Structure 1
Amino acid sequence: MEYDFSKLNDREFESLAASVIEKTYNLKVEIFKSGRDGGVDGRFWIGDKKEGIIQCKHYFSTSYSQLISKLKNEELAKVKKLNPNKYIFITSKTLSRINKKEILNVFKPYIQNESDIWGQEDLNSFLSKRENQDVVERNYKLWITSTSVLDILINNAIKGRSQFTIREIEEKSYRYVVTENHNKAFKILEENNVIILTGEPGIGKTTLADNLAILYTAKGYEFCDIEENITEAESLYRENEQKKILFYCDDFLGSNIYDAINNKKDSHIVKFINRIRKDNSKKFILTSRTNILNKAYSLSHIFQNLKIRDNEFLLTIENLTNIDKAKVLYNHIYHSKLPKQFIDVIYKDKGYKDIIKHRNFNPRIIEFITDSSVIGNIKSENYWTYILQSLNKPEVIWEGYFQNQTDDFVRTLTFLTVFNNGKISEEYLRDSYNTYLRIHPLNFGDNSDKSFESVRKLATKSLLNRNQIGNEKYEYVLFNPSIADFVLGAYSNEIDLICNIFKSLNSQVSIDYLHTLLRNNKINKVYTSRILENLFDFFYESKLNDEDWDFLIALSSIDIFNDAINKRLETFLNIIITADRPSGERLWELLFILTEFEPKIKFQNFEFLYGFIDDVSDEDTLKRLLDFVDENDIDDESILMQINILLDKYLLSIVNDNDLDIDYSKHITNSYNYYDGYYEPDVDINGIEDEIRQNLDSFLDGFNENILDKISFSTSDILSNIDIDSKVNRFLENYEPDYDRDSHGGFYFGGSSEDDIDAIFER
């Protein structure tokens, strides 16, 4: 087994060393606060009076010659002064037999034999033994970066996007600092199976969610990154009811809040949350910005009924304690590639305290100000000013880099990614980029290569990340979510630029995102008409010729009362309702437009609905469809039959998923089998059927009764297709969680109680 000690900072390595010696010699090791140690990183007692000393050197990337020089010139004098009865030396470097002999000779007689000298290979050998796994698990970062855990993570990630998400999470885990928020989150997730982590941007929600995801995935849960696609998650849930699955959704609702609520996805989300809460074989981790969650709560009665803001599975990430902030800052500095003169700036006059105690301290800003690739051409003498500016005005943290250290072409790739809702495939980004070059004036400046391949290499790892999502397929996402915040804030009035970006993207995803931005006031509403008219002028004829109905529906629904597009919108609606079997997936929006648009559309027949109702699978679209059929007195037998089928399918799914909250325990009693001598369950099948029927009838109260009568809909048909026996058997199965709820699964989540920030930063 190989462990990656490079992921540990020096303080973490000292803690690991103490755990190893404690387990090896079965004794208690005292660990002293960080700082000037006088040659002591740990102390233990042999008997009552004989003192043993541990000294650690985390010189992972330092040459052996530098290590031995330091031991001879600095550490030997300290050891002589301490005069311990036993001295144990531990390093993360690989040591040869000759190296050990040399170290032994340096520290004689304090080191008594080579077994008291531990190198990288000795640590790996110790930690690989099964009986020592408790030491590994107590040192979270070491455990999470071990080869065995990495294999588990990749193997347990559901193929596709989830596999690449878990790889990306793992690559960042070495910067993680376990804080009290981790303890609280772990407890909530264990007890409730669901957690929503909320807080201000950059406070560390995603980082905490990522590391909780790693923890559970490594412990046997399959990892599924659902990206708000609840339908995908529901399907996966039904296919794997017996498996342990961790569902993960970063930036829950996010900028799509209005889309989620107006398209009635909130009911899907709440039902899925409730389903997970009742199933101990599943976990659900979500993150959401505080303002987004509050807005969703104010707009959605479904979220209000769930009491999502005061529920036991909600954890608001508060400001970190000063000691936690110190650990975060120290860890980022330790793992940064900052030149020494820049690090000295942070240490000068204990400047790290000013950073830690700044009102705007958060992990995202710390990541930014310690990233050497972002700092660029800043000189060390200007570095402190740069740090303060970043802390004082975090909303413009990307301004200097974005506007001064990039060109129009790198910015173009960033714009295209931002306005495609933060994610875009490489093929699609290339096409959009080439279109943008043709339609938008750019400063070509020098004769450098402006091809997509050349520019994307410049943008990658500075403003964009390039992730592989399949065989020779790649996807681009923002290097940091705050880039979108900056772009939307800085360029929201650049209407020509915005319109040309959306023309270049030419996708429903981007149009949906535009709708969201306008409704969320990220783009001034004053410009709504101008943007819509511009895009309608550009897209209308081509999309009509291509019969791209869903795109036109998405674009039209931005503002159906805009006089400038009224005539063309009326023409489009008349074309779609008379087209030969049109098809699409935006039935809810289409029915909304047809119902609300003035002048009223006159229908010759309703055959245009055939291709739009094939696969309706959500409650709100079904309700709107039934209301539309009733309002227009539709008697088309094919449509009515299809509605009946869709209702059957949908209601059967909510029964199978127990969204009706059937309490099977009320209908099961235990009777004693005297012949075999044990209790066996006695199930009242009729009672269960009656409860299902009653709950179905109650659920259907919100559906159009006229249409239910017209199609002679009967809940008896649903009941006849339900396998009650399998549901009872599943209910009787006892799901036991794999973790001890009191022991945190054997992980050490405690933090130092020391309040000495200076000691952490002592060099």
Structure 2
Amino acid sequence: MEFFLSKLNDREFESLSADIISDELDLTVEKFKAGRDGGVDGRFWIGKREGIIQCKHYWKTGYKGLISKLKKEEVDKVKKLNPIKYVFFTSIPLSRENKKEIVEIFSPFIKSESDVWGEDDINDFLSKKENQNIVEKNYKLWITSTQILDIVYNNAIKGRSESTLSEIKSNNERYVITNNHTKGTEILKNSNVIIISGEPGIGKTTLANNLALYYTANGFEFCDIEESISEAEAILRQKEKKKIVFYCDDFLGSNVYDAISNKRDSHIVKFINRIKKDDSKKFILTSRTNILAMAVSSSHRFQNEDLREDEFLLKIEDLSDLDKAKILYNHIYHSNLDNVYIDEIYKQKRYKQIIQHKNFNPRIIEFITNNKRISRIKSSEYWNYIVDKLDNPKEIWSNFFQYQIDDPVRVLTFLTVFNSGVIGESVLSKSYSFYKQNFKMNTGSTDSSFDAVRKLAIKSLLNRRKIGDRIYEYTLFNPSVSDFVLNAYLEDVDLVESVLKALGTRSSIDFLNSLKQNNRISRSIIREIQSELFRHFCDIKLIDRDWDYLVQLSCLDILNTRVVNSIEKFIIEISSYKEARGERLYELLELLIDFNGNVEIKDFSFVAGYIQYGSLDREDINKVVELIRKYDIKDEILFENLSDEVDSYIREVFADNKSSANLEPYIHSSYDHEHGEFVLDFDSGGIEHEMESILDTIISELDEKLLDYIEIDGADIIESIEIDQLVDDFISSYGEGYEEEFRGGYSSGGNSSCDIEAIFERN
């Protein structure tokens, strides 16, 4: 059996070498994180003397490059280390003369030629049956071995399946095992069916490919199906007792309506249910989330069978920075990029900017490290090319957005983008209805109701999350959606005006203002949009107007006196409006304080109602104090309501801060010799003083004039603290091992940033 070591990157090769020596010598081998190693890739101990493993992958460089490196750099390192035993690994083939030369270079530390491992030695070791545990531990090595490839090839059902498997096998060297792979394998093991969904470029097909390879390598026949479930059903009947993994990339494709109108959904549901009940069968599907949502929303059969319970949604935020680092490193390693290009990524640790970029996406990483794509780009321009593709991933979204979704889904996306990327469900529903009634939108023959359309948009372009009892909000599935929309549609003034009219929110005007501040939109367009929105605002009844919206709208162009004068008239209307609406307190305060002009208000009792039914934060409280001072208000009801709300605010903020306070300096551990255990004690006076400091800080952030109008009983708040419970909560937050923490023996683990730097460290 032959193993293709070239499929491994240098970090993976080092890990394999350490596993081999650990097994060969029956010793524990310490592996070190990737990075500048000082000549040590692994360490073991013989008695009290240190043994060293050194690895040089060098399958790209060849023997001459290897020897040159050893003579120039590695010999001096070994002399300084002075190990009792030195074992050398390389992935290139070595002749007997080659081994002799390496032994001579490292004499007397390499004792014999058996301590020099080349490609053939590694293959011989891994081919032995007793060493299969090491092979299987290194997934990429195992899955690309000749034996497994033969199994995979022989298990491909002839025709398209054979071709698909061949393509899958040739593209898996860049694959990185992340938690998604483990989760996917577990789902298939337990339920036999997995529908992998996610945004374009997230890695749906790559994960599906490797799950299919895994099962095929473990004796399952591989069957690639497209949209014809009848084809899969026929194979199932023929091979009822065989182990089969069915594979369907891009489930239903863009022909979802055809599938449902022709009643194929019932066949799909029946087939999936059969697979779920048969552990000898597996079904792996990928689907664009909008297609899956569309299918479920359009098919009662899919809804009744809860098709989405088999969904495994891939999200970029589920990848740690370390996972992203491995993905990037693997792509660079196998990219065949010239060193001058790779240097641009390593320069000033720029790889961190890629890993932490909001638009990080495996497809973009593949795009920017594709040697053929950048062949015409100068190395000096390469970094700018990378930044541009990350900042403006048009080629990722354009086709999907323009051709794979319809107008209603696009409108929901526009509304979310222009509402600063976050929008409540009630606002989105209302805005969508307004847009649908007043502007041109091609709905086709499909259900264009809000409920139907939002289900299509969820998880393809939008996320929906619960933020309260029956309260939901929507965010963009990926920040790059906003980038694409702005790049593609911002100059369409009619569209932007339509979307902003439909929204009518402060957030939308804030977003427009940010575009102006960042010079993304011209002043002439801003004025045109502002005038149109102002005319629209004046047509709305007082009770339905968003007051602060008007304030923000005027800020787009403060020279628009027409808008400012209208705000003054609007304030007079508000003061005579008796229905208190607490959620509008801050908007009311801004209007009264910032745009009073020649307005005269004699009775401020209406403000008290807004305070009573509001939920004040620090800014609200300080604004109320500013209002009282500005107009010299004497209203006792207002003061009483303000006092109650300030007390509630302080207690709430204090509760949050006291539970997160660091009490470690006030908690002590001592050893009880009589009972043979550690005992924890605490300084209650010190903790109480810490609480007083926290309370003083909260109060100090409020307007100092506040105490001229109300009293704050800080002593009552402090007396309400249960010190014992506070300490118990603090200690329990450490979980298991908290005693070691207070004894000073606790270690918090590795530094993620250092681990990332180590991956990209050049030896």
With the length of structure 2 as denominator, give the TM-score of the two structures: 0.54
SS of alignment partner, residue 194 of structure 2: strand
Cα distance in 1 between the residues matched to 2:174 and 2:313: 25
For the 8 Å contact 1:203–1:319, the answer to whether it is kept is no
The answer to which structure, 1 or 2, has the higher relative contact order (CA under 8 A, 6+ apart) is 1
Shift of 1:313: 6.9
For the 8 Å contact 2:194–2:310, the answer to whether it is kept is no
Q: Which residue of 2 aligns with 1:384?
A: 383
Amino acid at match of 1:326: A
Cα distance in 1 between the residues matched to 2:30 and 2:324: 24
For these two proteins, the number of residue pairs brought into alignment is 427
**1:354-373 counterparts in 2 under 5 A?**
354-373=353-372
Shift of 1:3: 1.1
Q: 1:67 to 1:752 in 2, by over 3 A?
A: farther
Percent same amino acid among aligned pairs?
Answer: 65
Q: 1:162 to 1:312 in 2, by over 3 A?
A: closer
Question: What's the Cα RMSD here?
Answer: 2.6
For the 8 Å contact 1:195–1:314, the answer to whether it is kept is no
Q: Which residue of 2 aligns with 1:242?
A: 241
**1:175-190 counterparts in 2 under 5 A?**
175-190=174-189
Cα distance in 2 between the residues matched to 1:294 and 1:288: 10
**1:380-529 counterparts in 2 under 5 A?**
380-396=379-395, 485=400, 488=403
Q: 1:107 to 1:383 in 2, by over 3 A?
A: same
SS of alignment partner, residue 253 of structure 1: coil
Q: Which residue of 1 aligns with 2:172?
A: 173
Amino acid at match of 2:211: L
Mind listing any 5+ residue stretches in structure 2 that lack a counterpart? Answer: 408-439, 446-749
Shift of 1:319: 3.7
2:222 matches 1:204: no
For the 8 Å contact 1:193–1:282, the answer to whether it is kept is yes
For the 8 Å contact 2:269–2:301, the answer to whether it is kept is yes
**1:20-31 counterparts in 2 under 5 A?**
20-31=20-31
Shift of 1:250: 0.7
Cα distance in 1 between the residues matched to 2:156 and 2:390: 37
Q: Which residue of 2 aligns with 1:6?
A: 6
SS of alignment partner, residue 308 of structure 2: coil
SS of alignment partner, residue 45 of structure 1: strand
For the 8 Å contact 2:326–2:759, the answer to whether it is kept is yes
Shift of 1:96: 0.9
Cα distance in 2 between the residues matched to 1:323 and 1:316: 15
Cα distance in 1 between the residues matched to 2:754 and 2:230: 48
**1:362-761 counterparts in 2 under 5 A?**
362-396=361-395, 485=400, 488=403, 756-761=755-760
Cα distance in 1 between the residues matched to 2:191 and 2:383: 45
Per-residue CA deviation, residues 81-132 of structure 1 (Å, 9 max, x unaligned), is: 1111111001011111111111111111111111111011100110111111
**1:17-416 counterparts in 2 under 5 A?**
17-47=17-47, 49-311=48-310, 319-396=318-395
Cα distance in 2 between the residues matched to 1:127 and 1:313: 35
For the 8 Å contact 2:193–2:310, the answer to whether it is kept is no
Amino acid at match of 2:291: I
Amino acid at match of 1:126: F
Shift of 1:155: 0.8
For the 8 Å contact 1:196–1:315, the answer to whether it is kept is no
Amino acid at match of 1:347: Y
For the 8 Å contact 2:56–2:91, the answer to whether it is kept is yes
Per-residue CA deviation, residues 634-662 of structure 1 (Å, 9 max, x unaligned), is: xxxxxxxxxxxxxxxxxxxxxxxxxxxxx
Per-residue CA deviation, residues 238-297 of structure 1 (Å, 9 max, x unaligned), is: 111000000001111221222222222222111111100000110000111222222222
Shift of 1:483: 8.8
Amino acid at match of 1:59: Y
Shift of 1:228: 2.0
SS of alignment partner, residue 102 of structure 2: helix
Amino acid at match of 2:83: P
Cα distance in 2 between the residues matched to 1:122 and 1:396: 46
SS of alignment partner, residue 175 of structure 1: coil
Cα distance in 1 between the residues matched to 2:309 and 2:278: 21
Shift of 1:174: 0.8
Q: 1:355 to 1:131 in 2, by over 3 A?
A: same
Mind listing any 5+ residue stretches in structure 1 that lack a counterpart? Answer: 398-481, 493-523, 530-750
Amino acid at match of 1:29: V
Q: 1:311 to 1:487 in 2, by over 3 A?
A: closer
Per-residue CA deviation, residues 642-701 of structure 1 (Å, 9 max, x unaligned), is: xxxxxxxxxxxxxxxxxxxxxxxxxxxxxxxxxxxxxxxxxxxxxxxxxxxxxxxxxxxx
Q: 1:358 to 1:242 in 2, by over 3 A?
A: same
SS of alignment partner, residue 195 of structure 1: strand
For the 8 Å contact 1:89–1:117, the answer to whether it is kept is yes
Shift of 1:139: 0.7
Cα distance in 2 between the residues matched to 1:9 and 1:98: 27
Per-residue CA deviation, residues 16-53 of structure 1 (Å, 9 max, x unaligned), is: 10111111111111110100000000011113x12111
Amino acid at match of 2:86: Y
Cα distance in 1 between the residues matched to 2:120 and 2:132: 16
Larger Rg: 2
Q: 1:267 to 1:369 in 2, by over 3 A?
A: same
Shift of 1:74: 0.4
Q: Which residue of 1 aligns with 2:700?
A: none
Cα distance in 1 between the residues matched to 2:361 and 2:754: 19
